[in-house]
Amino acid sequence: MSIVVTGATGQLGHLIVEHLINRGVTPAEITAVGRNTARLADLAGMGVATAVIDYAEPASLAAAFTGADVLMLVSGSEVGQRVAQHSNAITAAVAAGVGRIVYTSASKADTSALILAPEHKATEEALLASGVPFTILRNGWYTENYAAAVQQARETGVYLTSTGAGRVASASRSDYAEAAAVVLTTPGHENAVYELAGDIAWTGTDMAAALTEVVGRPVVFTPVSPEEHTAILTGAGLDGGTVGFVVALDGNTRDGLLAGGSSDLATLIGHPTTPLLDGLRAVA
Ligand SMILES: NC(=O)c1ccc[n+]([C@@H]2O[C@H](COP(=O)([O-])OP(=O)(O)OC[C@H]3O[C@@H](n4cnc5c(N)ncnc54)[C@H](OP(=O)(O)O)[C@@H]3O)[C@@H](O)[C@H]2O)c1
């Protein structure tokens, strides 16, 4: 079986390639694709085929996808351009006769008010319209997203957010990558949509307790209002766009949009998801 993995030069895609090999896929059956040639060279050292692609360049996609049985389409990182980019990838996969497309989406992308959901929703719609068999992995939040919180806690002893009592069911990138490797290599996932999230939905207080363990000093959860948060981040020198994004995301968290509630991830990978404390220790 020939599997093409996009975003393989990034963190999640690289882990997907590793999990595929761990699950017994022959490296020669995998084509790892992305833009960064240094990281592609690193992947070639693992024995996988590589190709340079850019979602904005259809010819590069056509060349890379030819002969693929399954396309692992890892969502891109250029927010605002992703619907066109992902649509290019889907169109190229259809033209190349790819048998199935697996796409990394976002939690409840079709209905969620999550600020990141619209591009994923539009991509899911393009995927459904393409007529190609698909598997949608609606990935929840990565624990690795809290690397900056670890650093802040180490320096200040404070975990400050405007998430209120909102919970986050995060899991490690490796958990999500393992789930991708499972649906790429086992039958029964055609036209399935999985809501992937960590087993435990933690609060800001839980996060502060975990940070206390990880950084070795007492860390206090300090909830603030969105207005206070905006003023604090602006005062720290962040640009308006970043401040708006962070505060909006905390609002989404406060509203429970990252709280998970599905056991699909643990079921797919066959073991509990990585606990918050272990995920933070790996980040630290
Ligand atoms: N669930 C979450 O918590 C969460 C958090 C952050 C991101 N995400 C999403 O999950 C994806 C994977 O996460 P990650 O941590 O692996 O992100 P990452 O390390 O930033 O990797 C992003 C990947 O997308 C590739 N890419 C971006 N623009 C591209 C383009 N125009 N053409 C071809 N490839 C392109 C990059 O390729 P090059 O490096 O070679 O340019 C890289 O391989 C992200 O891209 C984003 O959509 C989810």
Q: Is residue 55 part of a domain?
A: yes
Write phi, then psi, for 230 (nearest 5 degrees): -60, -45
Q: Do 93 and 2 form a contact (C-beta atoms < 8 A)?
A: no
Spatial separation of the C-alpha atoms in residues 246 and 228, rounded to whole Å: 13
pLDDT tens digits along 187-231: 999 999 999 999 999 999 999 999 999 999 999 999 999 999 999
Give the CATH number of the domain where residue 154 resides. Answer: 3.90.25.10
User: Where among 100, 119, 139 does a domain terminate?
Assistant: 139
Q: Do the domain assignments include residue 48? A: yes
Residue whose CA is closest, atom 10 of ligand 1? 75
Q: According to the model, what pLDDT value does residue 127 have? A: 98
Ligand 1 centre to CA of 7 (Å) is 6
Its domain, for residue 164, covers: 141-170+198-260+274-284
Structure tokens at 25: 């896929």
Is residue 142 within 6 Å of ligand 1 at its C-beta? yes
Task: Please list the ranges in the chain whose pLDDT falls under 50.
Answer: none
Q: What is the pLDDT of residue 274?
A: 98
| Alpha carbon of 236 to ligand 1 centroid (Å) | 27
Q: Is the dihedral of CA 57, 87, 132, 29 positive or negative?
A: positive
Q: CB of 36 within 8 A of CB of 8?
A: no
96-125 pLDDT, tens digit each: 999 999 999 999 999 999 999 999 999 999
256 and 150 within one domain: yes
**Residues 148, 84 share a domain:** no
43 and 132, same domain (yes or no):
yes
**Residue 45 is assigned to a structural domain of this protein:** yes
Q: Is the CB of 74 under 6 A from ligand 1?
A: yes
Residues 152, 116 share a domain: no
What was the pLDDT predicted at 31? 98
- Going by CA atoms, what residue is nearest to atom 44 of ligand 1? 77
Residue position matching structure tokens 């609060």: 203
CA of 256 to the centre of ligand 1 (A): 24
Ligand 1 midpoint to CA 149 (Å): 21
**Closest approach atom of ligand 1 to CA 139:** 1
Domain count across the chain:
2
